[in-house]
Amino acid sequence: MTPTTGRLISLDPRFDDLIAPDTPIEILAIGFAWCEGPIWLARDNCLLVSDIPRNTIKKWSAREGLGTFMTPSGYTGIADYGREPGSNGLTLDLDGHLVLCEHGDRRVARLDWDGGKRTLVDEHDGKRLNSPNDLVFRSNGDLYFTDPPYGLPEQAADPRRELSFCGVYKLTPSRELTLLTDRMTRPNGLAFSPDERTLYVANSDRAAAHWMAYAVEADGALDEGRVFCDVTHLASALPGLPDGLKVDEQGHLFATGPGGVHVLTPDGEILGRIDTGLKTSNCAWGDDGATLYMTADSHLLRIRTRTHGRLPVTRGGPSRQ
């Protein structure tokens, strides 16, 4: 029998429409130093997960269990590079290639399945990025990513830091980079609404633990944004901060934060929480789209849902992620 952890906390009957009461939170694997960036890889029917401190991407499947997919994953230097040198957020581009946020090499890179990686972006205005954290593609091929300092050995105070701010960026397929906002203190996870008219961005700051919502303009730029939901009052009482997030087909947010994964309406109302009992870093839809995988400290978790994950568009047609 698969071991379980945590509990479901329903604050509204609509939560039960999304996750059946008493659905178990399954523990699939343990032993990570700190796991992040899960992404379902349909081509191999498996989940990829970053283990940031160990500079490794692990692979999990129901058939084979846990194994190593790639090492090194985010730092290829020869000197020690602090506590979190590896890859963080993982996603797929429109052609199905794996795209990685790499802490130690301070870049966003793409893995070509026939061999080798290539840098997509590693600087802004001639200055090196801090440590790209999480990323999401829009259906036109534009890549949006966040760049806080968490991957630098001394974080915000690191002498190697070249940018004085934490940015949210847009990178076009032609490699044109645009700084969208530098006003968030610790931008982290991000996701689009199903119609791609809103970009949600988590702020992983204990003093300002909230999710922002930005209207996406016709050219892909963002408006001034608004605080979508604030959980600062929970940050001192429950483990974790706003981090990775995903959106279902109906526009509900499944957003990691204090106490696990918060489930929010498109209006920012919290319906309930998947309380993992652990610091929960990120989540991703997998299998048939009704399975939510969660990375939580040293644990990889899974829960079945009554809703389905958003269908990302690829050039080969929609595929669940």
Closest CA to 246 of 312, 302, 306, 150: 312
Closest CA to 151 of 117, 112, 196, 108: 108
Task: Give a yes or no: residue 163 inside a domain.
Answer: yes
Report pLDDT for 256. 98
Task: Give a yes or no: residue 310 inside a domain.
Answer: no
Q: What is the tally of structural domains in the chain?
A: 1
Cα–Cα distances (Å) from 65 to 41, 68, 102, 125, in that order, read: 14, 10, 25, 43
Q: How far is 80 from 261, CA to CA, in rounded Å?
A: 33
Task: Give a yes or no: residue 249 inside a domain.
Answer: yes
| Domain membership of residue 126 as a residue range | 4-304
Q: How far is 154 from 157, CA to CA, in rounded Å?
A: 6
**Do 81 and 75 meet the contact criterion of CB atoms below 8 Å apart?**
yes
Q: How far is 30 from 146, CA to CA, in rounded Å?
A: 27
Task: Report, as ranges of residue numbers, the positions in the chain whose pLDDT lies below 50.
Answer: 312-313, 316-321
Task: Give a yes or no: residue 313 inside a domain.
Answer: no
Task: Give a yes or no: residue 314 inside a domain.
Answer: no
Report pLDDT for 144. 98
Report pLDDT for 43. 85
State the CATH number of the domain containing residue 94.
2.120.10.30
Report pLDDT for 310. 74
Q: Is 40 exposed, middle or buried (0-12, 13-18, 19+ CB in 10 A)?
A: buried
Q: Which two tokens stand for residue 258?
A: 């204090």
Q: What are phi and psi of 16, to 5 degrees?
A: -70, -20
Task: Give a yes or no: residue 22 inside a domain.
Answer: yes
Task: Give a yes or no: residue 71 inside a domain.
Answer: yes
- What letter represents residue 50's amino acid? S
Task: Give a yes or no: residue 321 inside a domain.
Answer: no
